[in-house]
Amino acid sequence: MKVTLSFSIDTKRDEIMTQWLDRQRNKSESIRGAIYAQMEYEEVGSPRIVDQMNRMEAMMGELRGMLQIPVVQVESTGEVPPDIIENMKKLG
């Protein structure tokens, strides 16, 4: 059995919602999906995707700070040092 529900939105306050709905091929399916996602969030307490993305960005920033590797400048004469040549000969 199908039930038809209707609701009103404010075109100024909810402009972003109307723009999103205008881009949806199947508005009913999109609205149902949004409602189910909200229900799951409220019932399970799972964070919204935006919240998860913000947390991931913060974690990545922290990791970048922790994983900074100092860059060491090494001057090269273009020649291979003798000890390296000897070690390479031992490798076969």
Start-to-end Cα distance in the chain = 79
Contact by Cβ (8 Å): 45, 52: no
C-alpha 22/C-alpha 4 separation (Å) is 20
Question: Which whole number is the average pLDDT over 74-84?
Answer: 77
Higher pLDDT, 62 or 29: 29
| 1-47 confidence digits (pLDDT tens) | 988 888 888 989 999 989 999 999 999 999 989 888 877 766 666 66
Task: Give residue 23's pLDDT.
Answer: 93
Is the pLDDT at 78 greater than 80? The verdict is: no
Global confidence as pTM: 0.43
Residue 48 DSSP symbol? P
